[in-house]
Amino acid sequence: MASDYSSLREECLAANLALPQTGLVDLTFGNVSVADPAHRVFAIKPSGVSYDKLGAGDIVVLDFDGNILSGSFRPSSDTPTHRYLYRHFEGIRAVVHTHSRNAVAFAQAGLDIPCLGTTHCDYFHGPVPVTRAMTPQEIGGEYEWETGQVIVERFTRAGLNPLEVPAVLVRNHGPFAWGSSGAKAVETALALEIVADMASKTLALNPRATPAPQALLDKHFFRKHGANAYYGQPAA
């Protein structure tokens, strides 16, 4: 990898600039990080910098131990959460955090986003989980690091595969999503907001709406993901 981490910075910049275009962020609420797991480093948006002023040179690069390797700005305040996820969810290369409104509504209600139809099934192999409430000790301690811990705890306790359910709702806070690239993580965050909007409207129309059948869930998820996927065109 080049010593200036240029390719990592460029991918991270592109993903961060894509966020406002999706409508997922208000003000500066949101950030994307992109990792190079082989070298145990990641790039992330600097804290509080407006998207319209963001350049590749502003992106901060850190190692998985939290040491800043390159960049003059303070990294996103959510950096420890991103770092915790990279250290514990093998196979992810990018993480997106937003305060997108429909996903936040489920997080504030303390509810999983139920898997009610095929749009959800295409991206998430089951409900998108919400974490437990954080304790006063966790909030008063290393809050952002503890946020990562409660995310991983939620997946571990439920036996969830983060590559099959690539998003989570942090209770009273908001969503984190991830993927194999910066662009894919942003796409997943957008899909999450779309299915949250659909679910909230469905439940408003019919509070007793039931989840999609398991057979339908498996069909739609695995036709797009995994070794036997057949959706789209084969790689060149």
Annotated catalytic sites, by residue?
A: 122, 231
Distance CA 136, CA 196 (A): 28
Distance CA 225, CA 76 (A): 31
Alpha-carbon distances, residue 232 vs 19, 46, 186, 199, 229 (angstroms)? 24, 36, 19, 26, 9
Distance CA 147, CA 153 (A): 10
Judge whether 73 and 49 are in contact, CB under 8 Å: yes
Distance CA 3, CA 17 (A): 23
Number of Cβ within 10 Å of residue 127's Cβ equals 18
Alpha-carbon distances, residue 150 vs 37, 131, 182 (angstroms)? 22, 6, 23
Distance CA 222, CA 23 (A): 28
Count Cβ atoms within 10 A of the Cβ of residue 141 and give its class: 0-12 exposed, 13-18 middle, 19 or more buried. Answer: exposed
